[in-house]
Amino acid sequence: MDFSNVESLQASIGELIFVEIKTTKKESVKDDFSGYFFALSEGEIAASEALGERYQVILYNYVQKKYLKTTVADILSRSKSRTWQLSLQL
């Protein structure tokens, strides 16, 4: 794909994979990333719904130097608890 060529981008856009990276330095996070707490924004959830499997998430643990490639749907299915919040700017 030629990023400087609009036609090339248009032809390839359906094949692109978008990756969200979430990181941690907490030693309490296990190899399978259980115990890992993080937030997903409304935009991340909307993007994952729109793009499906083409929107992936990589969880990276700096302490163990391990990563897990996953999806928002998989993360939501594995979650043990969910807390929704509203962010406001005044």
Residue-wise pLDDT for 56-84, tens only, equals 999 999 988 999 999 998 888 888 777 77
In the chain, where are the structural domains located?
A: 16-78
Count of alpha carbons within 13 Å of 38, Cβ hemisphere only? 23
What does the DSSP assignment read for 57-71? EEEEETTTTEEEEE-
Residue-wise pLDDT for 4-16, tens only, equals 999 988 898 888 8
Are 66 and 31 a contacting pair, CB within 8 Å? yes
Are 34 and 66 a contacting pair, CB within 8 Å? no
Tell if the pTM clears 0.85, that is, is over it. Answer: no
pLDDT number for residue 84: 76
pLDDT number for residue 51: 93
Residue-wise pLDDT for 23-61, tens only, equals 988 888 888 888 787 788 888 999 999 999 999 999 999
